[in-house]
Structure 1
Amino acid sequence: MKEFSIFLIVFCYSLISASAQSLEIDKMLGAESAKSVEAEMGIYNDDELTEYIASIGQRLVSHLDKSLFEYKFYVVDDPIPNAFATPGGYVYVTRGILSIIVNEDELACVMAHEIIHAQNRHSVKQMGNSILPKLLELPGRIVGQVINEDIGRILTAPIATSNSLLLASYSRSHEKEADEEGVTLASKAGYDPDAMKSILLRLSKSMEILTSQKETKGYFNDHPYTPDRLESITKTSVKLDWETKDKVSSNFPQPLNSLLFGVNPEKGLFEGNTFIHPTMNFSFQFPDDWHTENKPTSVNGMNKDQSAALFLGLDDASKSPQALAEEFIAGIEKEHGVKPIFSDHSKINNYDGYLVSYLDKSDKKQMYIHTLWLKMDGKIFKVIGIGPKSAKDELKRSVLSFHPLTEKEKSTIKKQLIRVVESKADEKFDQICKRYNCVISSELTAFINGMNPTSKLKEGTLVKLIVEESYFN
């Protein structure tokens, strides 16, 4: 699997000390990482917002003593508050962190921190969070081939998932260095270095809200404890002699108006265990109580005892379901000398398909592998079900559930957006939230604006609100 090999190359190179690397290695790793970020997380498509982020970034880079790279700046289509840099000068901020930033100074400090990580060539450790390791434990030689070769083609990045980037961590010394040199860089560009403290506090609180876990100080945590970081930043910022400069935007947070908040329906979404994809126009029901995950190239599920799994992805639309099935059968027969127990045309909700089933007897736990190719709306969907005989009915029900979206299903799909509005004189957050039908509480609305929920707002104060609209508007 090419992508798996790329991940191993990136991982191995990350173990090499920065002093032993040439800049060309950074650039090579950065270019590969950029492809992975785009494929696994997605770049947010908003030219004006991207230009705004890039303008701040280039302003910061212009104050480096010597820029090692041609820096590039992107907004990542991810709702989790985060920012990260990859080797070679690729700097990313997520939609999630933009939603909790309250001024340009905070944004500049966050970006300066990541620029320092890239500029000082700090190694990035990436960890996987996928059901693939457990899937690899399923028994059988044919099962192994299907997982490693066939499923491998629809799971383009089985280990380097978006979660691994969100969990990426640096050593304590690298984080301290990026904090101290980052606020120094921000101050040189005319930004308040103390803004790093306010965004760190809000970031810590937002992660508490998301995870329902309070941040604690732990000796073995890679990431420094926030209060310790604040103390270090204060010691640095008090020594800085800086002057404020005009901001890139004179009316922040206006550049964030219409920014998508939360899950992006365009990537598909789960409602319970029903997966709905509005842009690809299909719905698919996984069995109840299964663990599911939505990846860029496939939707996957596994039962609780990890004995059965389902994968849904796309295959070559230039070929017919039968042609793809015959290629698959020939590959299995060549490798294992085994023929399918079933192979024939199949119709699912009036759409033409081809179903191939195998019984893998190579292990004492006999496993069935069902693969269906289904042609719908000019696409070839591929469903792979693996499990023992006891899982047959569950797998069959899921496959039969596959269908184009109904008008009723389409009407249920919503998107949440940031709207920047002006407050009335002495208006409170509960009042402005009611006026605009906010979908998050007034307390959380105040939080993402860096204000007290009971504060009375001045007339004309720009406030970020989260509202809900129909996806198909």
Structure 2
Amino acid sequence: MTLSRGALPTILALNLILGFGCGMNGRPSPPSRNVILISDFDDASVGAEAAKAMEKQMGVVDDPQLQTYIETIGKRMLPFAPARSFDYSFHIIDQSAPNAFALPGGYIYISRGLLTLVNSEDELACVIGHEITHAAERHSAGRQQFDMRMNPLSIGFMRMGQLAAYGRDQESDADRGGQILAAKAGWDPAGMATFMQDIGAMGRLTTGWSRLPGFFDSHPSSPQRAAASTNRAENLKWTPRANIAADHRDFLTKVEGLALGADPKEGIFEGSRFLHRDLNFSLLFPDGWQLINNHDAVGAIAPGGKAIIALQLAGPGDDPQAMARIFVESELRAERGRVRGEQSLLIGSLPAYRIHITTPAIKGFITFFAYNDLIYRIETISTSGPIGSYEGRGRAVTRSFRPLTESEKALFKVTRLQIVKGRSGESLGALSARTANELDLATTAVLNDLFINSRVEEGQWVKIGRAKLYIPEDS
């Protein structure tokens, strides 16, 4: 969760980010607005809406040189893709899991986690070509319509997820299209097969990183797909062109420095306790609940998915009651909601104001409180009837808010991708010990397309992770 000072989130936006909402409790879903993607214009319109929500809620990586590199690869393939009236754009999403997806209208996203995993420009080109194919072939439109439920718990990011998910036939088509585009643009189409092997190996690892939805959550995997990519590469005719990166070291240099795993500026979990270093607070969620941390909210979903407790930033200020009034007159009114009760209180020594609300879709209460010139809000929300069975937990989470201890501040470290030279015959274990590699051997092997028992050659470039104490930018 990266909370910018002055941000004003939309009503219950955090709940949609956490994937919590319609149809989870077996009750009828609210009326939907079906959007039928008939034309390129429809693709561009729906994609633009989903892109804004997704980028706000997940964040993008601020690396202009790497961004330019991704764009250059993508644009080199566009002349060989089916002509469309929309413009393509390429973005690096701030997600630790290896992932890539396309929204309607040519919005192509590659996660930083995927960029740390690919081992050649050929692999990266095939992945980008795969996503260009999804957009160019209008695979979203091939599903005919999308259920755009307007429940406040399921707009924005969930909608984006629906638009970026495809069936196996479409995935196979995109595999084929991605390899063809890469080959026509002068890259080795075998990069698709080697990438699939790496992403499959990474998916089998337990690394301790945040298990966000990754590539194979929206891209169904099978041994048949990997084999098909290998066979297709062997039969595709292509003429090599110079890579955009000058050589393999230059390629690795472009991704060097990317964060590995969770970015500490988003906050971290220690058990069920959430810690945020930049904003200097801690919050304890119920044991056994599903913990989620996204770009502008952090929360926990109850077993069964019928309730959520989550925190987000309401905006700058020191008057919780005034912020509650703004919420009631704007966001709550827009959702046809009502206030059932309200009261002033203290959270420890912090001034707070609590309102109990209902809308056609939810029941619950929201506690606004002031801390360090910012107003936060903690929401305890149910979609399955009265909030009573969750009220105690919601109050306990709210009472748990406090500043970090010095020992908690010391827990914050950032691990970044570094490139080192191997020595002749050196094992990964010996290389890791010599270079202070923070990653386990299995992860190091996968990141470098090696086996755990591999021995490196003299001068071979190897990706490792190096950790250092995380210090907030304004410290």
Tell me by how many angstroms 1:194 deviates.
1.0
Aligned to 1:172: 168
Provide, for residues 194-226 of structure 1, a one-character-per-residue CA deviation record: whole Å limited to 9, x for no partner.
1111111221222233599xxxxxxxx996653
SS in structure 2 of the partner of residue 123 of structure 1: helix
Equivalent residue in structure 2 for 1:79, among 85, 96, 103: 96
1:99 matched to which residue of 2?
116
The reply on whether 1:184 has 2:180 as its aligned counterpart is: yes
Judge conservation of contact 1:127–1:160 (CA < 8 Å) in 2.
Answer: no
Q: Identity across aligned pairs (percent)?
A: 31
- Any residues of structure 2 matched to 1:210-249 within 5 Å, and which? 225-249=221-245
Aligned equivalents of 1:425, 1:447: Cα separation in 2: 20
CA positional deviation for 1:90 = 1.3
Opposite residue 413 of structure 1, the aligned amino acid is F
1:112 aligns with 2:129: yes
Task: Please state how far the C-alpha of 1:304 moved relative to its aligned partner.
Answer: 4.0
Deviation at 1:329, TM superposition (A): 7.7
CA–CA separation in structure 1 for the residues paired with 2:270 and 2:92: 26
Q: TM-score, normalised by structure 2?
A: 0.77
Map 1:259-338; keep pairs closer than 5 Å.
Answer: 259-304=258-303, 309-317=308-316, 320-325=319-324
Instruction: Spell out, residue by residue over 1:70-100, the C-alpha distance to the aligned partner (whole angstroms, 9 max, x if none).
Output: 2211111111212111111111111121122
Can you give the 5+ residue segments of structure 1 that lack an aligned partner in the other structure?
Answer: 134-146, 213-220, 361-366
Give 1:373's match in structure 2, choosing from 368, 372, 377.
368
Q: CA deviation at 1:192?
A: 0.7
Structure 2 gaps, min length 5: 1-9, 17-21, 23-29, 209-216
Q: Of the candidates 2, 21, 24, which is equivalent to residue 41 of structure 2? A: 24
Specify the code of the residue in structure 2 equivalent to 1:379: L
Equivalent of 2:57, from 40, 58, 62? 40
The one-letter code sitting in structure 1 at the alignment partner of 2:343 is S
Confirm or deny: 8 A CA contact 1:60 1:189 kept in the other structure.
Answer: yes
| SS of match in other structure, 1:420 | strand
Q: Distance in 2 between matches of 1:338 and 1:230?
A: 55
Structure 2 partner of 1:160: 158
Equivalent residues of 2:99, 2:110 under 8 A apart: yes
TM-aligned CA distance change 1:37 to 1:53, over 3 Å? same
Q: 3-state SS of the aligned residue for 2:235?
A: coil
Following the alignment from structure 2 to structure 1, what is the Cα–Cα distance between the partners of residues 371 and 49?
A: 33
Tell me, yes or no, if the aligned pair for 2:41 and 2:86 is still in contact at 8 Å: no
The number of equivalent residue pairs is 424
Tell me, yes or no, if the aligned pair for 1:420 and 1:463 is still in contact at 8 Å.
yes
Following the alignment from structure 2 to structure 1, what is the Cα–Cα distance between the partners of residues 391 and 197? 50
Q: Which amino acid aligns with 1:399?
A: T
CA distance in 1, matches of 2:154, 2:266: 16
Q: What is the identity, as a one-letter code, of the residue corresponding to 1:322?
A: Q
2 CA distance for matches of 1:371 and 1:104?
A: 49
**CA 1:156 to 1:338, structure 2 compared with 1: closer, same or farther past 3 Å?**
closer
C-alpha contact (below 8 Å) 1:71/1:91 kept by paired residues: yes
RMSD: 3.8
Select the residue among 179, 182, 194 that pairs with 2:190: 194
Task: Give the drift of 1:294.
Answer: 2.3
Moved more, 57-66 or 71-80: 57-66
- Give the Å deviation of 1:347: 2.9
- When normalised by structure 1's length, the TM-score is 0.78
Q: Residue 12 of structure 1: SS of its match in structure 2? A: strand
1:87 touches 1:118 (CA, 8 Å); kept in 2?
yes
Change (3 A) 1:161 1:207: farther
* 1:372 CA displacement: 2.2
| Alpha-carbon distance in structure 1 between the residues aligned to 2:462 and 2:186 | 24
